[in-house]
Chain A
Amino acid sequence: YNTFPGNPRWKKTHLTYKIVNYTPDLPQKKVDDAIRRAFMVWSDVTPLKFQRVFNRHADIVIAFARREHGDGYPFDGRGNTLAHAFAPGEGLGGDAHFDDDERWSEYNKEVNLFLVAAHEFGHSLGLAHSNVRHALMYPIYKYVNPASFRLSEDDKRGIQKLYGRKSS
């Protein structure tokens, strides 16, 4: 695993997130559920807790966008770059953006929102890309069945280095 230079991380364990818009590819409930499950990937192995908020400030802001979308890192249409997220911090820090030119899916092998969101939230929490092929934080998208998804030891070691283990 890798962390970002300076090891940025949240100095609190209770984090808020906000979904500012939706992809037309999935019903809103499915998006909400995929996002919730993606945060659980990380809260299951650390003391972190995630709370969804509406109409107020959130640590992690989640948006679907196309091409240039105001952060200086434009998306590139269908394929190639699927999403990106920012390391922990104020402002854009922690925010996760998903390229809405992709075809987002819940179950099938087209770009699976849960898998990509879980990866992006790793960045939102302070993990950089891992060069371990089966790690969630490997930069290349690879479909695995979300129902049987398990966080790799590499990812677990990385996130627990930043936030510690979940107390039993």
Chain B
Amino acid sequence: FPAQLQQESQSNTAFENVKAYLDKFYPVSAQPKSLSLEDRIKEMQRFFHLTITGKLDAETEEIMKQPRCGVPDIAG
């Protein structure tokens, strides 16, 4: 159904963006391999002193959009 497809596609894009951000700034090589996406979001939220939800909430999304340095926050 077209409307639903669009929603799914937006959600996939958001997922890909979050994953790309975490891969770049919170690389898996610097953390235990078993960490889920939720755990990795929590790691980021902890670094930025955000409310730790493990979810892509508005506050977390806002941080991800801001201009920043390209060096990872967790050094691998």
Contacts and interface: CB of A to CB of B under 8 A. Distances in A.
Interface stretch (A41-49, A78-86, A160-168): A78-86
B58 interface: no
Q: Chain B, interface size: which category?
A: 10 to 19
Interface stretch (A25-33, A52-60, A133-141, A151-159): A133-141
Interface in A5-37: 5
Contact of B69 (A79, A83, A102): A83
Interface string B30-70: 00000000000000000111000000000000010111111
A2 B75 CA distance: 9
Contacts of B73: 129, 131, 139
Interface centre among B63, B66, B76 (most CB of A within 10 A): B66
A123 B63 contact: no
Given A4-B75, A128-B75, A139-B25, A84 B48 contact: no
Interface of B: 25, 47-49, 63, 65-73, 75-76
Interface of A: 2, 4-5, 73, 75, 79-85, 99, 102, 111, 116, 119-120, 123, 128-129, 131, 133, 139-141
